[in-house]
Structure 1
């Protein structure tokens, strides 16, 4: 059975941090989330995210959810 998340959701945290010249450490301080947990999200290894966490990250980065999380097209349809 293929991984249900392949072709799923990509977190653009790296790109947004770079655009805002912000470190993962600073984001961690702003949102109250550990660097390890943010790293899991940044590297697309997260299986879930709380709405409160999503809101806090988007608030700190001054972005919309759709800028942080994007859908990756399903390879079967390419």
Structure 2
């Protein structure tokens, strides 16, 4: 999948634990864990909205798109690699 979830990064930046965030967002710890670990197939806009409110961030801070069909330069030696 080309959509990556960076929820763990935002949680670390905001110093908030999974249990606390789950309570404030109003979802189960299990469902939040699935989302945080990138195993979720979908997310409701209402959940995304609440996550952004609680974490004081934008949706792009939580999710990122990376086109898997594009060559990316290797940072170490400038050679192009296919991911």
> TM-score band (shorter)?
0.7 to 0.9
TM-score of the aligned structures, taking structure 2 as reference length: 0.81
Unaligned runs of 5+ in 1: none
Runs of 4+ in 1 over 6 A off after TM superposition: none
TM-score of the aligned structures, taking structure 1 as reference length: 0.86
Q: Which has the larger radius of gyration?
A: 2
* Count of residues paired in the alignment: 71
Matches within 5 A, 1:1-78: 5=1, 8-74=2-68, 76-78=69-71
Structure with the larger helix share:
1
Unaligned runs of 5+ in 2: 72-83
Quick one: higher RCO (CA 8 Å, sep 6+), 1 or 2?
1
Structure with the larger strand share:
2
